[in-house]
């Protein structure tokens, strides 16, 4: 009796091990037929048959549920997606050499969208650089001409000042000569009236006085 119970225990352990193996294979490949085979073995006890039957029913129910479960249908809706138009304009004019995005692309802030052709920009830069150089050269020439004219003006001013100083000196000299000629003329006139000086001496004194007066008038005009 004890030997029979030990044999049944070993058989039950072996069947449980085969059941776990079958379940593992079923989970991996779906082998429900192995469970059915175990049910028809003669060595399988009554309570073990009930366990296998329950497992088989669970497997069948799970397969049926998986096969007949409701499949969610995609929900199709219609709507309008509004967009915002943005005008992109460069700070300088020119032609686009390379467009890095296309219509409908999503862009980020500060992303490079296009590359301008540099030929025209370089030509404009060279033109303006040449213009700046020409203007700078012209300004230099004008400054040199202005300095030359300033030196000439200063020289003319100095010459005019020297001429004016000479005229003033001549004016003073002519005034002194006129004063001397006047004194001689008046003295000679008194002597001539007293019949002391001859008439020729009186005429010479008067002529000298008139000449001194004329020279003073001439120097006055030069000073003016």
Largest CA distance in the chain: 208
Model pLDDT for residues 36-79, shown as the tens digit of each residue? 555 455 445 566 666 766 766 776 666 565 556 565 667 777 77
Report pLDDT digits (tens) over 160-181.
888 878 878 888 888 888 888 8
Tell me the three-class secondary structure of 35-87, residue by residue. HHHHHCCCCCCHHHHHHHHHHHHHHHHHHHHHHHCCCCCCCCCCCCCCCCCCC
The more confident residue out of 54 and 132 is 132
Classified by CATH at the fold level, domain 153-224 comes out as Helix Hairpins (1.10.287)
Q: What is the pTM of this model?
A: 0.35
pLDDT score for 174: 81
């Amino acid at each position: 009796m004890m030997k029979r119970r030990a044999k049944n225990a070993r058989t039950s352990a072996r069947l449980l091990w085969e059941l776990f193996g079958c379940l593992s294979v079923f989970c991996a490949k779906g082998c429900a037929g192995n469970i059915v085979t175990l049910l028809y073995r003669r060595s399988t006890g009554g309570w073990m048959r009930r366990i296998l039957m329950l497992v088989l029913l669970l497997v069948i129910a799970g397969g049926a549920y998986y096969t007949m479960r409701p499949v969610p249908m995609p929900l199709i809706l219609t709507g309008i997606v509004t967009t915002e138009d943005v005008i992109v304009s460069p700070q300088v004019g020119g032609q686009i050499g390379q467009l890095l995005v296309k219509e409908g692309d999503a862009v980020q802030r500060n992303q490079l969208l296009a590359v301008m052709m540099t030929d025209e920009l370089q030509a404009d830069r060279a033109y303006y650089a040449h213009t700046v150089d020409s203007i700078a050269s012209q300004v230099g020439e004008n400054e040199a001409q202005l300095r030359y004219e300033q030196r000439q003006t200063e020289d003319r001013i100095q010459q005019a000042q020297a001429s004016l100083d000479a005229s003033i000196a001549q004016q003073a000299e002519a005034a002194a000569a006129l004063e001397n000629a006047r004194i001689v003329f008046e003295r000679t006139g008194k002597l001539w009236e007293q019949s002391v000086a001859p008439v020729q001496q009186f005429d010479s004194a008067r002529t000298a006085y008139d000449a001194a007066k004329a020279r003073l008038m001439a120097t006055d005009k030069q000073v003016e």
